[in-house]
Amino acid sequence: MQALDNSRCIDIHCHQNAERDHLQILSLDTHQLAAHGQSGDLVSPSVGYFSIGIHPWFIERQNIAEALQTLTTVLSQSNALAIGECGLDKCITTPLAQQVQVFVPQVELAEALGKPLIIHCVKAFNELLQIKKARKTSVPWIIHGFNANPVVAAQLIKQGCYLSFGKALLNERSQAQKALMQTPLERVFLETDAAEDMPIGEVYAAAAKITALPILALQQQIFKNFERVFPHD
């Protein structure tokens, strides 16, 4: 069995900016900047690559017009690789119609800037796909933390989406394992999300086992996916 080389791993969605030996995209929310008195000048280059968006969980914590302006400004930074996470969640109290009103401007901004979207979606895949079809989007949409069934996975892939898998791959009973087995590897990313105690290497090892791929081959494919989807210096 090949030894895992962490330096070849890419964590496309995480919430901790620890010292690491691999490439990662740190996920930020506009309300975090506002909480620290920051506006548009903003994210230190020392954080490395990052994405930023208005998460549906935090809509009611901030002025959305101001948040969208902050988002537009911050995304001009060269290390801002994507918009998100953003999206739709039917398991929170914020009305779905209100979530859509916040999500759609972020979709439009992604199109205007040519940046991919990292999407949070809980029990709202039909609504998400309706928006995607109606907007006729061209930038990549990445569904992060994917753990829905293979049927949903196939619908998303058919519409050009990418799927990012995380800690659910370590659960043999998860839908994520079944979905990954049926997902074309050129549509796959891996992530740690908020699992601070789980190295990205564990996710790669689980994905390699599920797909019956050598670790190096998996790393090479995800690196190709990263190069294709995320414009970067």
Given a cut of 60, is residue 22 above it in pLDDT?
A: yes
Answer whether 85's CB lies under 8 Å from 55's CB.
Answer: yes
What's the pLDDT band for 41 if we cut at 50, 70, 90? low
**145-204 pLDDT per residue, tens:** 999 999 999 999 999 999 999 999 999 999 999 999 999 999 999 999 988 788 999 999
Give the residue extent of every domain in the chain.
Answer: 10-229
Given a cut of 60, is residue 1 above it in pLDDT?
A: no
pTM of the prediction? 0.94
Interval 12-36 mean pLDDT: 84
pLDDT, position 228: 96
**Token digits of residue 227:** 């190069």
Ranges assigned E (strand) in the chain: 10-14, 23-29, 50-53, 80-89, 117-122, 141-143, 162-165, 188-190
Q: How far apart are CA 14 and CA 192, in angstroms?
A: 6
Edge-to-edge strand order for the sheet containing 141-143?
10-14, 23-29, 50-53, 80-89, 117-122, 141-143, 162-165, 188-190
Answer whether 225's CB lies under 8 Å from 162's CB.
Answer: yes
pLDDT, position 232: 76
The arrangement of secondary structure in 10-229, i.e. its CATH architecture, is Alpha-Beta Barrel (3.20)
Least confident of 29-38, 61-70, 182-191: 29-38
**117-153 pLDDT per residue, tens:** 999 999 999 999 999 999 999 999 999 999 999 999 9
pLDDT, position 13: 97
Mean pLDDT, the chain, integer: 92
Interval 216-222 mean pLDDT: 96
